[in-house]
């Protein structure tokens, strides 16, 4: 089964959106296999976003992402990387469709509530970065009610 790294950013945590976001992934049928509330600091966040280090908005992004705790999660399921990004919505809230998390809960790109891995490769790297202790693989009794 595919895995993705989903993170509720500091604004999402402060605004009380953890439950809402978890609910959407659970209702879809995905399985939560790791979760923690953590505030890891600048170096860790710079590593997470290292692909964007040359961007003008990078310092502001790191300041925002280290301004409070984040909720780090790993979700498992068929096509969860691509489907998870769809559920989050476009990066720019002005372009995110209604019904997506960003489309429903945010206005500005610099406060866009959540992160989701953009490929299976990135997911693997991000899961290793955020959960070096490993994830909790558990048997779910509802698998046969979600998959044929
Ligand atoms: P994320 O990594 O957070 O899931 O976002 P993403 O893949 O949809 O978008 P990406 O291009 O990787 O950008 C990462 C985060 O940087 C902030 N951003 N600010 N001011 C700007 O123009 C700008 N562009 C991007 C957003 O918080 C974005 O999610």
Q: Can you tell me the ipTM of this complex?
A: 0.93
Q: Is 44 a catalytic residue?
A: no
Which of 8, 46, 48, 61 has most ligand 1 atoms within 8 Å of CB, for mutation? 61
- Residue 5's DSSP bridge partners are 74
Token output for 112: 């866009």
Q: For strand 114-116 and strand 3-8, is the pairing parallel, antiparallel, or unpaired?
A: antiparallel
Per-residue pLDDT for the chain (148 aa), expressed as one digit of tens each?
A: 899 999 999 999 999 999 999 999 999 999 999 999 999 999 999 999 999 999 999 999 999 999 999 999 999 999 999 999 999 999 999 999 999 999 999 999 999 999 999 999 999 999 999 999 999 988 887 788 999 9
Ligand 1 pocket test target in 49, 54, 112, 125 with most atoms within 8 Å of CB: 112
E-strand stretches of the chain: 3-8, 31-38, 70-76, 114-116
Describe the crossing of helices 18-28 and 80-88 by its angle, rounded to 10 degrees.
140
CB of 118 shorter than 6 A to ligand 1: yes
Tell me the binding residues for ATP.
9, 57, 85, 91, 102, 112
By C-alpha distance, which of 11, 19, 119, 14 is closest to 73? 19
Write down the pTM of the prediction: 0.96
**Do the Cβ atoms of 94 and 32 come closer than 8 Å?**
no
């Amino acid at each position: 089964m595919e895995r993705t790294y989903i993170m509720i950013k500091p604004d999402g945590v402060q605004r009380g959106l953890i439950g809402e976001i978890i609910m959407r992934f659970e209702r879809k049928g995905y399985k939560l296999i790791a979760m923690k509330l953590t505030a890891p600091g600048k170096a860790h966040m710079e590593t997470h976003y290292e692909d964007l280090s040359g961007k003008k908005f990078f310092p502001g992004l790191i300041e925002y992402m280290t301004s409070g705790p984040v909720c780090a999660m790993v979700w498992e399921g068929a096509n969860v990387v691509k489907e998870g990004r769809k559920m989050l919505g476009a990066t720019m809230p002005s372009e995110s469709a209604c019904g997506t998390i960003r489309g429903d809960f945010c206005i500005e790109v610099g406060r866009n509530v959540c992160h989701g891995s953009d490929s299976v490769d990135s997911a693997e790297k991000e899961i290793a970065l955020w959960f070096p202790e490993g994830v909790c693989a558990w048997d779910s009794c509802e698998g046969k009610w979600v998959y044929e």
